[in-house]
Amino acid sequence: MLTTAVALPQRLPRSAGYLTFRVGRAEIGRYQTVGVLSFNRVLDLTRWNLSIKKARGFTGKRGGLDRLAEATWRSELGHGWCLLMALLIAAPLWFSLAGVASWLLALAVPLHIYPIMLQRVLRWRVQQLER
């Protein structure tokens, strides 16, 4: 989702439909129940997180927490838009090419929902550090 840094405006809204910038504790528990932390371990094993960490430029210092939170929001919105586009493409395909629509949804839903949840878990952790 590196392209979302260019596609999204510099000043992001604090909510986008059901997605909000602030993350609640109960929400994190639901994400952990469906295995988002296991998904994060898979990303660690494939070294994907390492490339994202370099792209975000987070230094690990408190002064960069705002920037990290903003980066997670950008990534979340980017994945949300991609999921929405996949759903909009799959809907008309369902009536003529149901198999293609099924494959599109089978790939798009988990490959965008889990990153959205993971970004929210990370942003919740940042929010706890900012207190």
Query: How is residue 16 annotated by DSSP?
Result: E
Domain assignment of residue 82, given as a range: 24-130
Tell whether 3 is covered by a domain: no
User: What is Dmax (Cα atoms) for the chain?
Assistant: 53
Tell whether 80 is covered by a domain: yes
Tell whether 15 is covered by a domain: no
Output the pTM of the full model: 0.81
The SS3 call for residue 121 is helix
Q: Report pLDDT for 67.
A: 85
Share of residues in the chain with pLDDT > 70 (%):
85
pLDDT in tens, 40-92: 999 999 999 888 888 887 877 888 888 888 888 889 999 999 999 999 999 99
Tell whether 6 is covered by a domain: no
Tell whether 19 is covered by a domain: no
Give residues with Cβ within 8 angstroms of 74, minimum separation 6. Answer: 1, 4, 5, 8, 12
Tell whether 7 is covered by a domain: no
Helix (H) or strand (E) run with residue 61 in it? none
The CA distances from residue 105 to 51, 92, 109, 119, in Å, are 26, 13, 6, 21
Using CB atoms within 10 Å of the CB of residue 31, give its burial: 0 to 12 exposed, 13 to 18 middle, 19+ buried. buried
Number of domains in the chain: 1
Tell whether 14 is covered by a domain: no
Report the alpha-carbon distance of residue 71 to residue 62 in Å, rounded.
Answer: 15
Using CB atoms within 10 Å of the CB of residue 93, give its burial: 0 to 12 exposed, 13 to 18 middle, 19+ buried. middle
Tell whether 1 is covered by a domain: no
